[in-house]
Structure 1
């Protein structure tokens, strides 16, 4: 998917039937009814191009089944972030749903069925990114009480002793595993899937809990979400100390390249509401780090 391929830059997997109740209007999926969203008013931006951003509705592109990020029921943290932004903007909220597959950006944002993607890695050129609203890293997840207690690095010698390691294919931690000669211990899970049918991260966590694997390597928001859901049965550690492959990434919102004023407006909202955004992310277990890879504790 354009988005999932973008997230493979970060290699996250990453790497919305009923919406939340408050005056939220829902567009049909572009897969089912392309073009049903009314064309918004044009606004000239500073460079003379036209910004087709709806003045009354925050129109969001989202995957319909990709927790902890988004789903049709509005249970993900990107759903909650969209609700927050719509409230701050004084707009209604509408979604265009498209599964995490090739063509996501082309068939949603670039088809003018929506005006923003809530989570894109900074540096992806499929979209124009806003300023980042969080930074996080890949993480290791293991069972509480196992002989891997205290694991913080893929260089830990305990991993070389007959441990099975879960890894999403074609993600940056694979480079570290190759460096540490651990690829033979890897059980691979697919990166690019139709999220309506497959859930590789949930499958990996199930395998970890059942003992089929001993450690799971996941994108931080996914790892933190499942650790929090485990009620103490799982533990995590961010892979910020391993050298040799980039593990930490900034995540922004994505808009069309022509939408300069819209990007500036979203940047202002991010800056003005960063503490609230941090608290929202922490509620979902998203591990937040600063530019020095130090953990961020949201302000009360």
Structure 2
């Protein structure tokens, strides 16, 4: 009897030892994508993938700054990144699971509908635009406005923001709600998510033209990224994304993620 109990215990321990762990790299303070409390849609996607792969879920938390891939996936500290542009060459990426766009965010009461990048109203409105840095590596809308000579009435909001406060990229949407600027041009998931939670009614419309030039499109496909050589995991994740497409679509809708046809 004791031998049987010992054997059962050994089998259970062996099973636990073989339990797979999926380690995800994510930003701990970056809603709507992810946070340490697991409230972002990329957290929920990671949970879904881990569940379907019968794996425990673990995280490596890293602020999503320059060098993010180099310091996480490329250092083999984690297995996947749930939300990366499909064209990033440093990783192996799945087929896209959504496609989003930059958006205009305005106060609903101002009725600034049907804006485009070529709208003459933009030359007179106060515009907020997301910036990455002061070395020319900036967001497509920042380049698009500069190309049109729209500079004097533009205010920059750092995409990385003040990391001491919750969800620093929300600053541009909050500026629209406060009336600091009339128009915010933000990456769609940020604009859609925070506009939906604003106490001041805000309107969200996609930026057009979506292809400002060949270098600065306004629309991007988003995939799950894995280490460049981990093609088996890439295929496993793609299978989950395909089989759970309807569930993932509903998840994105709950977070008010603007999407365009792929």
Q: TM-score, normalised by structure 2?
A: 0.84
Which of 123, 130, 155 aligns to 1:160? It is: 123
Structure 1 match to 2:194: 226
Structure 1 match to 2:155: 187
Could you say which structure has the higher helix fraction? 2
Matched, 1:130 2:101: no
Pairs within 5 Å for 1:93-242: 93-148=57-112, 150-161=113-124, 163-169=125-131, 170-193=138-161, 195-196=163-164, 199-230=167-198, 233-242=201-210
Q: How many residues align?
A: 237
Distance 1:194 1:116 in 2: 26
Residue 274 to residue 201, structure 1, CA distance change in 2 (3 Å): same
Considering only CA atoms, is the larger Rg found in Structure 1 or Structure 2? 2
Structure 1 match to 2:234: 263
Provide structure 2 residue ranges, at least 5 long, that are not aligned to the other structure: 1-16, 132-137
Structure 2 match to 1:72: 36
Q: CA RMSD in A?
A: 2.1
Q: TM-score, normalised by structure 1?
A: 0.73
CA displacement, residues 115-170 of structure 1 (integer Å, 9 cap, x when unaligned): 0000110111121111111101100000011142x133122222222x11000121
Kindly state the Cα deviation for residue 231 of structure 1 after the two structures are TM-superposed: 5.9
Structure 2 match to 1:31: none
Greater shift, 111-120 or 72-81, is seen at: 111-120
Distance 1:219 1:132 in 2: 17
Distance 2:232 2:242 in 1: 15
The answer (yes or no) to whether the contact 1:64–1:98 under 8 Å persists in 2 is yes
